Amino acid sequence: MLTHPSLPFSGATPISRQHSALASLAIAPRRGLKTTQLLDIFDRAGEMGLDDHQIARLTGWPMSTVTSTRNGLVRAQLVEARSDVRAVSPYRHFTTIWRRRVQS
């Protein structure tokens, strides 16, 4: 079953969670556009997929926006991690390759 990507927010204290939730609501109109843009990027990347650093370079988005938007797509079961390959980040650490999930 597919779900809709949710708005992310967090916080270690009640007030920080409240502020995070309010900020999340404020960006909600742009979130849909970014989600659509990211799905298009995954569609163009095809089976090969992309890692978060590649997405950040393509979009110019901060890494937090990339991961937040991508995580929403993962939760919605529209994007998945490739288990057969991994990349190396600019910081020389292994990183996950993500691709559009094949819908059955």
pLDDT score of 70: 95
Give the model confidence (pLDDT) of 15-72 as tens digits. Answer: 777 776 666 666 656 668 899 999 999 999 999 999 999 999 999 999 999 998 999 9
* CATH architecture type of domain 31-100: Orthogonal Bundle (1.10)
**d(Cα 42, Cα 92) in Å, to the nearest integer?**
23
Mean pLDDT, rounded, for 89-98:
92
Residue 93 pLDDT exceeds 70: yes
Measured over the CA atoms of residue 86, residue 57, residue 17 and residue 28, the dihedral's sign is negative
Q: Contact 71/98 with Cβ under 8 angstroms?
A: no
Could you tell me the residue ranges of all domains in the chain?
Answer: 31-100
Residue for token pair 């992309």:
50
